[in-house]
Amino acid sequence: MVIKPLRLKKGDTIGIIAPASPPKSEPLKKALSFLEELGLDIKLGKSVHKKYGYLAGYDQERIEDIHMMFRDRDVKAIICACGGFGTGRIVSRLDYNLIGENPKIFWGYSDITFLHTAIHQQTGLVTFHGPMLSSDIGLSDVHALTTNSFQQLFRSEAIEYTNKLSMLETVVEGAASGPVIGGNLTLLVSTLGTPFEVDTKGKILFIEDIDEEPYKVDRMMNQLKMAGKFHDASGVIIGDFKNCVPEKREQSLTLDEVLKEHILDAGKPALKGFHIGHSSPSIAIPLGSIGRMNTYNQTFIVETGIREDENK
């Protein structure tokens, strides 16, 4: 059963956590001001300003922050400060009964992909693949479409992505529908062989990544293909692959060649060119909501990820 979290309204409290790496302090401070301008109150997790190497505190500290925010009835949404690395270390130790019994908005991307996949598959909760605080909202040149993505949390409207937002390209012709799942390619591959392995059956699979050379993308795409993830999917949406360029161009396949080869082989409807992921603008989408893609008019429409009525 799919569960949509209740929408936000002005005056609500949102919890800020860092379940992976520590956020940069100045961009985070600026991003918190942005949230306050939206009329929201802020509650910081205890590990947000902690550092343990490349992690925002010890595993147990980050786990406790997640549990605390889901348990706290005053907190209406949980927004991740940044990604980085570390969610795969804690995902098997989360209390999914607690999360399922306290459904609320959960927002982030990149390394947060592992949490999106686990939370949705364990509880049915729709979560949001959206721009994060210190790594996106807190930048000096943040795009208006990036900040505008947060309006998805206040209004229950479908997200309509067309060529008006970016130039889309058809990879495989066709139309498809189903729940939207996915996120960062590296993290999706890291779920394989675990109890939280991404399930793509009958779903629209979304992928994106950053700073991976084409041969590394090739390796990960091939692993997803061999695991049947493209074959099982109803369709494929390709987001931004920022800085995924070869170090030695004359000795490399291009990123487009790698992506198209593996996706063409599956034969499922596929579109590329979306500003979703490590991009500017970075447009949010609800994971778990029903999506409809059509390559003939190059559209991708996703149902709202929130509900209006507290009793539904």
Write out the catalytic residue numbers.
110, 208, 278
In the sheet where 105-108 sits, what is the strand order? Answer: 41-44, 13-17, 75-80, 105-108, 127-129, 285-287
CB environment 184-216: b (16+ within 10 A), e (fewer): bbbbbbbbeeeebbbbbeebbbbbbbbebbbeb
Distance CA 213, CA 42 (A): 38
Residue carrying the six token digits 């940069």:
24
Phi and psi based region of residue 174 (left: phi greater than 0; alpha: psi -120 to 50; beta: remaining): left
* Closest among 282, 275, 299 to 170, alpha carbons compared: 299
* Closest among 2, 196, 163, 174 to 87, alpha carbons compared: 196
Distance CA 215, CA 230 (A): 19
In the sheet where 290-294 sits, what is the strand order? Answer: 159-161, 299-302, 290-294, 175-184, 204-210, 235-242, 270-272, 169-172
**CB of 303 closer than 8 Å to CB of 290:** yes
Distance CA 287, CA 85 (A): 21
